[in-house]
Each structure stands twice: as C-alpha cells, then as structure tokens.
Chain A
C-alpha cells in the first residue's frame, strides 16, 4: 500500500487543487469535505486537516461573505500547492 500511495499522491493532490479552483462558493463545503478525506488517506495529513477545518468553517458560517470564503479558499490552495514542493 505504501508504494501505491506514493505513486498516486501527486495525482490526488492535483485533483484536489483542481476541484477547489473550479468550485463555486456554494459547492465548496461538500468539495472540501471530500478532498479532506482523500488527502488524509494519501498521507497529506496537514493538508487534509486544513481542508476539514475549512469545510467545518463553511458549515458554521453559511452567511459568510464570498470575499472571506475566497480568501480562506486561496489560503488552502496555497497550502496544497506548497505540498508539491515538499
């Protein structure tokens, strides 16, 4: 399984980034929840935790401004893109 995870994790991360970039604010909660689970399964623990936290924040702040949602989404995107470098 370790080899399987190692081979696939870059693709998983790439798809997660694509999903985040292409989601409307209304879709983000469900999307971030899904990618949080997948990221954590493929050994992106911190990235998975942050995606889960963002999903939880979205659930609790359904009336938040789109600008605040976008700011937090971009923060998560930066973290995921940085994970490629590491």
Chain B
C-alpha cells in the first residue's frame, strides 16, 4: 500500500485530501507545516507527497527544494494559487505536478495514481536491469543515459534528475535529430492539457540545462521557436 504524505496548514483541506485518498486505498499521513514534513521525510520514505504551496516558513517551495535535494519522491503541489508563475516556480523547485484548488477528489486520486505509475515503471526497470544485467545506454557527447539504471552520467559522474527531467532528456537523446513539438512532449512531462504547457516545458528545459551545465556538461536542450525542442548540435 502506498503511503502519501499530505502537507497543508489548514485542517479542513487536509481532511478533504485524506478522505479522497483513503477512499482509494492509500495510506495517508498528514502534517501541518514544512518542518514537520522535512522531519517526516528524513525518518521515513513516503511514496508521494502532496504539498501546499503557501505554508508558513519554510514555505512549500522551500520544502520542495529541500526534499528534492535528497529524494526523487513524486511531489504534487496543491494550492489555492493558480497563476502561471506559481506553477512555473513549483516545477522549478522540483515538483512533478501542480494542481490548483478547487480539485475534485477523483482528479486528485487520478493524478496521484499517475505519478505512482511513473515510479512503478522506474522500479520495474531497475529490477529488470539487476536481474538480467542488461544495459541500455544512450549517449550524446559527454552525456550517458543508462535507461535500465535510470541514471544520467556526465563524464562518468552521476547527476540527480527528477523523473520528469530524466524522461525529457531520454526522449531528446533517443532521437537526436528530431524536433519535438510541445504536444509530443506533453505526455513526457505528465501534462494532461495544453494549459500552461509551454511554460512548464520551458521550466523543465531550463532546469535540465542548469543541472547538466553545473555538472560540466554541454548546453543540451535547444528551443525551436514556435515549435518545441530538440537536442543541440554536438560540438
């Protein structure tokens, strides 16, 4: 049974989320502030976190950043704020999905299931890799993607990417000459509609560039104006 951590400072909101998820069979733990969330994550490994953006200090973005430094657990931001900036900042902080209130219990549960499915695929890939000792390596310049191990290495040094960033990079490196439209990339980042898609993709692309550059890698993602993205030309 998957354990979901709910972080929200308003009891009625927590109860709504808890009831929605428990009715789908999830085990739910709830906390009311960011420090409690960080402590819980240090002591346990929740399978997914639903995080309110507007907590006290530390706020939801800071909590998200701190968790992301240590873990690739799926994080869904759930907030009353629904501007594009809020969504972009959440994704930039490492969130995997962004939901604004109001949201129905059904949609919330489906989004949770979708994120957990990603994690399950990842685990299955890792397991099958260790059993069969198979490798499936994509490479581009100094970047190496071990698909089975779900690892990205730059000059043999592993860099930490979120699930979404990993999938984004894998798609680009898998077809290095192809220009991908935003619509083609939407399912890669888990977007279910075109609303905010351009901004969300820009944010994931920026984070990917930054992480790879920080690790000494090349500029990897190129925006193709009015179309989407492609891998940059090898140097």
Contacts and interface: CB of A to CB of B under 8 A. Distances in A.
Do A and B associate with each other?
yes
Contacts of A8: 12, 15
A15 B10 CA distance: 11
B102 A48 contact: yes
A43 B10 CA distance: 16
A45 B10 CA distance: 17
A83 interface: no
Given A4-B19, A34-B9, A52 B106 contact: no
Q: Secondary structure at chain A's binding surface: helix, strand, loop or mixed?
A: helix
Interface residues of B, number: 21
Contacts of B12: 8, 11-12, 15, 38, 41-42
A36 interface: yes
Contacts of A1: 19-20, 23, 104-106
Interface residues of A, number: 22
Interface string A19-44: 00000000000100111111011110
A15 B23 CA distance: 24
A57 B44 CA distance: 40
A77 to B, nearest CB: 18
Contacts of A42: 12, 16
Contacts of B106: 1
A33 to B, nearest CB: 5
A48 B54 CA distance: 16
A42 B15 CA distance: 11
A41 B54 contact: no
Interface string B62-81: 00000000000000000111
B80 A40 contact: yes
B103 interface: yes
A11 B102 CA distance: 18
A41 B19 contact: no
Contacts of A12: 12
Given A1-B105, A48-B101, A35 B10 contact: yes
Nearest to B8: A37
Contact of B79 (A30, A37, A48): A37
A30 B9 CA distance: 10
Given A45-B102, A48-B102, A37 B23 contact: no
B48 to A, nearest CB: 19
Interface in A29-76: 30, 33-38, 40-43, 45, 48, 52, 55
B19 A34 contact: no
B102 A41 contact: yes
B13 interface: yes
6 contacts: A1-B19, A33-B54, A33-B80, A34-B9, A40-B80, A41-B101
